[in-house]
Structure 1
């Protein structure tokens, strides 16, 4: 009984860890996307301030060029994280299915134990009833 409880706690812990990992990756993606959007606004402001929006122009603002590079890096990182997110979600699904399988087995085992206990109780009641019949005839 003790080992089953330990295994159940372990399975639940694994599912919780996978959930935390998925949430962490989702937050990182959201942060990267937010930072990229902020950089887009800064680039637009810098282009407007300089009056030059042609990236090939020799006088294109250096800050806008650097911000664009940072934005591209953020987008690339977010895309990589999206791949990790797919993997993490698959791992979470597998861990959850594993937990459910174990819970089903646990439920079956408990049902078997309840049925055995019920049979023992019924047997004891039958024995008591038989002994009482013997006393009633005597």
Structure 2
């Protein structure tokens, strides 16, 4: 019983750890997307300020080109993290299933113990009831 309690605690820890990983990856993706959106606005502002929207134009703003490269890198990183997120979510699902299996085994064992205890209690009550009857008939 003690080892199962330890196993349940371990499985809960693993589920919590996997959940933290999923949240961390989701947060990073959201942050990368926010930064890319900010860069899009800055690129648009630089293009509007220079009056040049053609990237191949010789006078295209250097900052806008650098911002585009940075934005593209952020989007690529967010896409890579999306793959990691899928893996992390799958690992979380597996860890959760393992926890549920162990918890169900524990619950089943407790149910068996309660039934056995009920049978013992009923047997004791029957014994007390029978011994009480035999004493009552002796006059």
Per the TM superposition, whether the score is higher than 0.5 is yes
The alignment status of 1:124 with 2:135, answered yes or no, reads no
Structure 1 segments (4+ residues) deviating >6 Å? none
Secondary structure of residue in 2 paired with 1:81: helix
- Give the whole-Å Cα distance in 1 for the aligned partners of 2:103 and 2:126: 34
> Hey, what does 2:137 align to over in structure 1?
137
- Once the two structures are overlaid, the 10-residue window that deviates more, 66-75 or 126-135, is 126-135
**1:54 Cα deviation after fit:** 0.6
> Hey, what does 1:45 align to over in structure 2?
45
- Once the two structures are overlaid, the 10-residue window that deviates more, 74-83 or 124-133, is 124-133
- Give the whole-Å Cα distance in 2 for the aligned partners of 1:9 and 1:117: 26
- Give the whole-Å Cα distance in 2 for the aligned partners of 1:93 and 1:8: 16
- Structure 2 unaligned residues grouped into runs of 5+: none
- Give the whole-Å Cα distance in 1 for the aligned partners of 2:92 and 2:4: 21
**1:53 Cα deviation after fit:** 0.8
**1:57 Cα deviation after fit:** 1.0
**1:127 Cα deviation after fit:** 1.1
Structure 1 length-normalised TM: 0.97
The alignment status of 1:92 with 2:87, answered yes or no, reads no
